[in-house]
Amino acid sequence: MSLVNMPGAGANEVVLRVENLCKVFRLPGAHGQAFKALNQLNLAVTRGRTLAVVGESGSGKSTMAQLVMKLQRPSAGRVSLRLDSGMRDIADLPARELYRKIQMVFQDPYASLNPRQRIWRIVSAPLCNYERLSRDERQQHALHYLQQVGLGEAQLHAFPHMLSGGQRQRVNIARALATKPEILILDEPLSALDVSVQAQIINLLLDLQRDLGLTYIFISHDLAVVRHFADQVLVMKSGDMVEWGDVDQVLENPAHVYTRQLLQSVPGRLIDLPVRTQSASVVADG
């Protein structure tokens, strides 16, 4: 696959590229059978845009995210990230540099927050990897990022259990923003939330993208949300890419029978999805 002809690539600058990425897990047992969770995945993500990754459970979406975040090592292939000096293989990047550029928001807003820490400490923790900060400075930074996600002083000194599910996911987003990353990986960030709260978080993510120029990789099961939220979509099945392209094109007129099945399995959605404030989606190359 040529570099321009890959999921996510468009006319604009590519900020993250995945090439021939593979992940093989050894299954437990005497013979340690190999299991391919990701098979030769290629994708590119364009600055300021959203690439959605969809597919049934077990199709390799989170594995891809973990490889991009260097939380696991690839069996083959590579991930590269745009730095000032050009595209760099993340295998050669120290964690400090990588996590300045790219952060992740996980599915379960509660499990990903330390229950024994106050919110200001949680939100400002990533910054402490980069700067020596006093307690006052940490609280000021935390307040700034909490305000960016629609929270404020009322939550600053709270513990996670005192917040609602939606507020906790806002805290996760605030923490992800604290190192001023350019790319956010959102691994099913809505699926643990009530339907009414999902729309608020979608709105927040769209506002942040517009205001901060963020680039998103958005992993989701929910094709109705993907349609409103993403520019391009990559459909995965059993570790393979099934199809990809402009969201409207793929979801209105899927080329692959698997995508049609996924679309048919989406229950009728009644939540009020926000209208996109972004410009129209990128046209896929090829």
Ligand X SMILES: Nc1ncnc2c1ncn2[C@@H]1O[C@H](COP(=O)(O)OP(=O)(O)OP(=O)(O)O)[C@@H](O)[C@H]1O
Q: Which residues contact 77 (CB under 8 A, 6 or more apart)?
A: 18, 19, 20, 21, 22, 40, 41
Choose between 57 and 264: whose C-beta lies nearer to ligand X: 57
What's the closest the beta carbon of residue 60 comes to Mg ion, in angstroms? 9
Tell which one of 32, 58, 115, 286 touches ligand X (CB under 6 A): 58
Tell which one of 39, 62, 139, 198 touches Mg ion (CB under 5 A): 62
Tell which one of 2, 30, 31, 57 touches ligand X (CB under 6 A): 57
Q: Which residues contact 112 (CB under 8 A, 6 or more apart)?
A: 106, 172
Q: Binding mask 23-52 vs ligand X (x if CB under 6 A, - otherwise)?
A: --x---------x-x---------------
Residue 40 backbone class (left: φ over 0; alpha: ψ -120 to 50; beta: rest) = left
From 58-66, 121-129, 142-150, 248-256, span contacting Mg ion (CB under 5 A): 58-66
Choose between 35 and 130: whose C-beta lies nearer to ligand X: 35
Residue 113, CA distances (Å) to 27, 148, 274 in order: 30, 18, 27
CB 19, CB 189: distance < 8 Å: no
Choose between 61 and 237: whose C-beta lies nearer to Mg ion: 61
**C-alpha span between 184 and 104 (Å, rounded):** 5
Does position 85 interact with ligand X (CB under 6 A)? The reply is no
Choose between 34 and 195: whose C-beta lies nearer to ligand X: 34
Q: Which residues bind ligand X (CB under 6 A)?
A: 25, 35, 37, 55, 57-63
